[in-house]
Chains A and B, each alone.
Chain A
Amino acid sequence: MASYKLNINNKEYAVEAEPQTPLLWVIRDEVGLTGTKYGCGIAQCGACTIHLNGSPVRSCSLPVSAGANQSITTIEGLSDDNSHPVQKAWLEVQAPQCGYCQSGQIMSAVALLNDKPSPTDQDIDQAMSGNICRCGTYPRIRKAIHLASKETTNGSK
């Protein structure tokens, strides 16, 4: 058992955990932020995607020790009121169905748009194919990403 300081969504949390505990479970069960989901545990499905220092990572495959003293962003950190452009676009196209994979989808999409503000369909394929959706919302996710891109690039003009 060890103590760790986690900076999540610009807030400090002090947690106790075994060093090899996946960061996913610490975020969910010790910190209580359950928006990040367990889907497979082997980094294959993307449901656990968070940002570590701005880059998308699979929290199921990162030990808590690797998350300490870094800057972590989870789905809860995107906004207080669903005002993030990606959240707005997601709601505009009504992307989620069961919604379980959507936290991870959104985190991957945000990272994509931070990197490529005007992604092509190929860019979307590449960035988003690590996130599985069993309900089949891929077409709407694609639409939402294009919409968010348009809104953001329009807004910045």
Chain B
Amino acid sequence: MEANKLDRRRFLKVTGLAGAMLAVGFDTLALGSSDSTFKKLMAEDLVKGTQLNPFVTISAEGEVTIMAHVPELGQGISQGIPAIIAEELGVSMSQVTIVKASASRQYGRQSIGGSRSVRSLFTPMRQLGASTKDVLVKAAANKWEIDPSGCEVKEGVVYRKGTNDSFTYGELVADAAKLELPKSPSLMDKKDFKIIGKATHRPDLAGKVNGTADYGIDAQTEGLLYATIERCPTLQGEVKSYDEVAAKSVKGVVEVMEVIRTVYGKKNTGIAVVADTYYAATEGRKKLNVQWNNAEFTKISTESMDKDMLELAKEEGMQHFEKGDFKENNNKKSSRGNIKIIGADYKLPHLSHTCMEPMNATVHVREDNTAEVWAPSQSPQVQRNFAKQLGIPDNEAEDKIKVHLPYLGGGFGRRSMNDSLEECFQISKSMRKPIKLIWSREDDTSQGPFRQTSFHRMTASFDLGDRIGVQHKVISPAITTQGRASNGRVPFEVMEAINTHYDFDDVSVRYAEYKNQVPIHWWRSVFGSTNAFPHESFIDEIAIELKSDPLQFRKEKLKSEPRYIKVLERLEKESNWNQKLGENEGKGVAIVESFGSIVAHAVFLKKENGQVTIPRVVSVVDCGIYVNPDQVKAQTEGNIIFGLTAALKDAITFKDGAAQQANFDTYRMLRMNEAPKDIQVHLIENDEAPGGVGEPGLPPIAPALGNAIFNLTGNRIRVLPFDLQKV
């Protein structure tokens, strides 16, 4: 087998145009790095031209390279951020080659999550593009000995107004590089945007339809060894014994060693088997026969956790939001005797992230104490951490430790935890060999950390049409307080997506923390994925109690919130909400604000030949100013399917302390034949600041579905997941 030499021409041919995406990581990986010389083979090393800032390089020939620094996990951000820079820089996307960056502090923060990349980078990246344009203009103005205001820019060319004189960016870059980037450049008017707001093709997709896109699991380097790790089924537990000799008897196995996995402060040992092929490693692992000391962790089960949460629901809980006085007015109504109370308990299970690319990492710690890392991670800047463990001073970390940032085959929050990187690092540090650690699908599904389970006690009290009081009590574990004692405050993450704008007279939102041994972590839309289902389902329960159409009820109760109203009105129109449905049809609506955006779904159901299907979902998204409308739609389509999977497919359940689901035969996913065939996403146009896009489409789908089920059958779903065919 020959190593693939980097062939820029071949690559550009594959991707079609100069306005392509150079995923340099793949081809350079094959060149590898030898033990004897530490070659600098990062994407940045191959960019030609004069660098004006870490993100923008322009060659004398006018080729513009923009670094895509944010980890690309399918959200399209590898195009989105460069597009923002290009807009203010004054070039068109066809003039730009986007290069996927490595992990490096020079780019500032590269960790992602919370749907905040465009939100947090929109203005800074605009400023970066604008200030870069300003120095190029200044360079031209200097040449002409005029004020910059006498210049104008069009597609990478600076023109002297009122003349035929011009300089290309290529001709100006050497001079521009000598000038200082202005701190507060003036930004474009939204109405002049040529790139932002337009549907554009993502350059990285070219490599994703032909097998050349480099994912973490695809890392290649000279002398690579493969590792797999046997971990305790109850996630915590001590190693009692294992059969190292038996594992090593498998041909190809070269090492068996203990590795520590740290999850929210809990350190647990696993046994790694390292071999010259992945197959040999997995065969060796089968022979380990690890015995665990884990009796104390086998007591927990989904049943026991449900019981615990039910018990906690009796407590008052901590205050999060109180408007009016729910408790007081409840009592008052009770004493007058004309109160109606509806109460409902809702429950959601643990779930796995299940990225299609299972957890993996590749690390090469060399004999000379330098290191090369392939980090398919939402938090890829591991240099400082690894430097500390290698005794390298902090200021040498980036020189001595190079971190490739491959594409991520899904993240959904799971890849913001670097446990697989840490494990791989330990093995390579010990063996001083390049190691690729691959988690099996079984490891990936059952070892967590998981999406939290939660229990919700909903109460509404009606004073016969007069004062309405609503309480939402959340009982669940929290992410940020794992591994430490509760501090009496409601953890910030647990109240996502609970809408306190509904104009009820008394509104009460409370929280009781449920601490238990099952580790949880950020999962797509986090607490939005568990709070919105009870909240928006219960809004329907109230609407129906008051004999109101659920969509009209929401419009009424949110009438002082113009952005919500615009979304609901648009949904009403686009979904033809007011049209009467047939006998065997149902519809449901939900609207949720989360991560800076408002999304509403209308779900339509059909019952035919005894089968219930979801033929159509209509969505309206208000995410403020957006970069690529087609990608907003794609993310929303994806969120809908991700959320339907969570509502309709398998939960992660625990028995004797271990997760009972391991692979796609028992932890099933929604497939092509079950996905709605017609998903329409409509975007609200406004000038509001960018809101999130990667997650906001998820929280409203389960309640919209549940509300549609009620509309179709009269049955109220309060526990997820449920069987669509048994409603």
Query: Could you list which residues of chain A lie within 8 angstroms of chain B, going by C-beta atoms?
Result: 1, 13, 17-18, 20-22, 25, 28-42, 44-45, 47, 74-76, 78-82, 87, 90-91, 94-103, 106, 121, 124-126, 128-142
Knowing A97-B75, A98-B356, the reply to whether A136 touches B251 (Cβ < 8 A) is: no
Residues of A within 8 A of B631 (CB): 94
Residues of B within 8 A of A42 (CB): 441, 663-665
Q: How far is the CA of A67 from the CA of B381 in the complex (A)?
A: 41
Whether A129 pairs with B663 at a CB distance below 8 angstroms is: no
Cβ of B355 within 8 Å of any chain A Cβ, yes or no, is yes
* A-facing residues in B651-671 (Cβ within 8 Å): 663-665, 669-671
Whether B30 pairs with A32 at a CB distance below 8 angstroms is: yes
Residues of A within 8 A of B280 (CB): 18
Whether A45 pairs with B212 at a CB distance below 8 angstroms is: no
Whether A38 pairs with B438 at a CB distance below 8 angstroms is: yes
Q: How far is the CB of B20 from chain A (nearest CB, A)?
A: 11
Whether A98 pairs with B407 at a CB distance below 8 angstroms is: yes
Cβ of B161 within 8 Å of any chain A Cβ, yes or no, is no
Whether A94 pairs with B205 at a CB distance below 8 angstroms is: yes
Residues of B within 8 A of A39 (CB): 356-358, 441
* Known contacts A29-B278, A139-B675, A139-B678; 19 further A-B pairs (Cβ under 8 A): A18-B280, A35-B212, A38-B358, A41-B663, A42-B441, A82-B209, A95-B209, A96-B209, A97-B76, A97-B634, A100-B355, A100-B356, A133-B356, A134-B356, A134-B669, A135-B410, A135-B638, A136-B641, A142-B672
Most A-side CB within 10 Å, residue of B214, B358, B634, B640:
B634
Stretch at the interface among B169-177, B215-223, B337-345: B215-223
Residues of B within 8 A of A47 (CB): 356
User: What are 29 sample pairs from A and B whose C-beta atoms fall under 8 A apart?
Assistant: A18-B277, A18-B279, A29-B226, A29-B277, A32-B220, A34-B220, A37-B357, A38-B358, A38-B438, A41-B440, A45-B664, A45-B669, A80-B13, A82-B14, A94-B630, A95-B205, A96-B208, A97-B638, A98-B74, A99-B213, A100-B355, A129-B672, A133-B356, A134-B356, A135-B74, A135-B642, A136-B638, A139-B679, A141-B672
- Kindly supply a per-residue 1/0 record for chain B positions 199-238, scoring 1 wherever the CB is within 8 Å of any chain A CB and 0 otherwise: 0011011111111111101101000001000000000000
The interface size of chain B toward A, counting residues with CB under 8 Å, comes to 72
Whether B217 pairs with A37 at a CB distance below 8 angstroms is: yes
Cβ of B430 within 8 Å of any chain A Cβ, yes or no, is no
Whether A25 pairs with B277 at a CB distance below 8 angstroms is: yes
Q: How far is the CA of A101 from the CA of B641 in the complex (A)?
A: 15
Whether A98 pairs with B637 at a CB distance below 8 angstroms is: no
Query: Could you list which residues of chain B lie within 8 angstroms of chain A, going by C-beta atoms?
Result: 1, 4, 13-16, 30, 73-76, 201-202, 204-215, 217-218, 220, 226, 251-252, 277-280, 354-358, 407-412, 438, 440-441, 630-631, 634-635, 637-642, 663-665, 669-673, 675-679
Residues of B within 8 A of A101 (CB): 356, 409
Whether B642 pairs with A134 at a CB distance below 8 angstroms is: yes
Q: How far is the CA of A18 from the CA of B16 in the complex (A)?
A: 40
Residues of B within 8 A of A126 (CB): 673
Q: How far is the CB of B498 from chain A (nearest CB, A)?
A: 25
A-B contact count (CB 8 A): 201
Residue of B nearest to A104 (CB): B356
Whether B675 pairs with A136 at a CB distance below 8 angstroms is: yes
Q: How far is the CA of A137 from the CA of B287 in the complex (A)?
A: 39
Whether A138 pairs with B672 at a CB distance below 8 angstroms is: yes
Q: How far is the CB of A68 from chain B (nearest CB, A)?
A: 16
Q: How far is the CB of A156 from chain B (nearest CB, A)?
A: 22
Q: How far is the CB of B583 from chain A (nearest CB, A)?
A: 24
Most A-side CB within 10 Å, residue of B13, B30, B409, B635:
B409
Residues of A within 8 A of B279 (CB): 17-18, 20-22, 25
Knowing A13-B1, A136-B638, A139-B675, the reply to whether A99 touches B208 (Cβ < 8 A) is: yes
Residue of A nearest to B210 (CB): A82
Whether B663 pairs with A137 at a CB distance below 8 angstroms is: no
Q: How far is the CB of B347 from chain A (nearest CB, A)?
A: 24
Q: How far is the CA of A100 from the CA of B209 in the complex (A)?
A: 10
Q: How far is the CA of A126 from the CA of B671 in the complex (A)?
A: 10
Knowing A94-B201, A142-B672, the reply to whether A132 touches B638 (Cβ < 8 A) is: no
Whether B211 pairs with A75 at a CB distance below 8 angstroms is: yes
Knowing A41-B440, A82-B14, A124-B672, the reply to whether A17 touches B208 (Cβ < 8 A) is: no
Selected from A29, A103, A125, the residue in CB contact (under 8 A) with B211 is A103
Residue of B nearest to A102 (CB): B208
Q: How far is the CA of A140 from the CA of B209 in the complex (A)?
A: 13
Q: How far is the CA of A139 from the CA of B102 in the complex (A)?
A: 33
Q: How far is the CB of B26 from chain A (nearest CB, A)?
A: 8
Residue of A nearest to B208 (CB): A99
Residue of B nearest to A122 (CB): B673
Selected from A40, A102, A134, A139, the residue in CB contact (under 8 A) with B209 is A102
